[in-house]
A and B are shown apart, each in its own frame.
Chain A
Amino acid sequence: MSILRNVAVLAFVAFAYGCASDVARTSAVLASQPAGDAQRITVVEDATVRSSSGYSRTLPAGSTWELRGTLPQGRVYRRVGDVFTVEGAHVHEAYLVVSGDLLVGYYLPVEQAYSQADPVTLKIK
């Protein structure tokens, strides 16, 4: 009986592992940034952010982000001097989408898509 239970657990894990959902997204067109907007922001305090797939990432204090354009949802920033990715079934390079001081989602430059995030207030300067 115990063997059967182990097989069942293994099968479940196999099923779950092989079916991680990908990052949910919708097509998005990045518009050029308005003149006068701050070109760079710096995260002042560590922030844990989560993507639609459930994976989380930490935006470390001191990380700098450069304005790359805008979406209807907010301004789009790319990490400077480092990399930032979001993860689901696959891993995608991602930029932050920030409205005011609220992280609202991610822009995926390869997929040219917007992915909504659980909103997180960022301490930025």
Chain B
Amino acid sequence: MRAVWSLLLAIVVATVAGCASGPKFNTVETTLPALSSGKGRIYFYRSSSVGAAIQPEVLLNGTVIGTAKPHGVFYVDRDPGNMEVVTGSEVDRKLTFTLAAGDTRYVKLGVNFGVLVYRIAPELMSASEAKADMADLAYMGAASAQ
């Protein structure tokens, strides 16, 4: 019985340790820098801690811009154009969408159970759903990689 409790404790510790840290997004949202003229903004967030040990890199148009940390949110500002998001988990599953100047798009890093392990798949979300999802997540800052 003691071994079971130890195992459960280890799982909880591992899960919590793997989560993003930072202020709640809804407490910093209004302090974020305004979008520069001619740019668009993309938020990336992962709201689930399921499969917390799986934290793949997030690539936007072939460049690593962050990590899919559970309960975390970050953003990038980009010139308008075509966007391709890939996470490097079990199966590469890309998401493509357009970004216009002045536009804000939201990408959820969803968790699915793959063949052997969890996989993180990007999904394009509406602003209303994403804002509700992101409110209590940890704000991890702006990604700077271009």
Contact = CB atoms under 8 A, between A and B. Distances in A.
Given A14-B115, A17-B114, A110-B82, A93 B124 contact: yes
Interface of A: 10, 13-14, 17-18, 81-83, 85, 89-93, 108-111
B115 A110 contact: no
Interface in B19-38: none
Interface residues of B, number: 21
Interface residues of B, dominant DSSP: strand
Given A17-B114, A17-B115, A18-B91, A93 B96 contact: yes
B57 interface: no
B136 interface: no
A91 B93 contact: yes
Contacts of B7: none
B95 A90 contact: yes
28 contacts: A13-B115, A14-B115, A14-B116, A17-B114, A17-B115, A18-B91, A18-B115, A81-B127, A82-B126, A83-B97, A83-B124, A83-B125, A89-B93, A90-B95, A91-B121, A91-B122, A91-B123, A92-B95, A92-B96, A92-B97, A93-B96, A93-B98, A93-B124, A109-B82, A109-B97, A110-B82, A110-B96, A111-B96
Interface in B101-140: 114-116, 121-128
Contacts of A13: 115
A91 B96 contact: yes
A90 B123 CA distance: 10
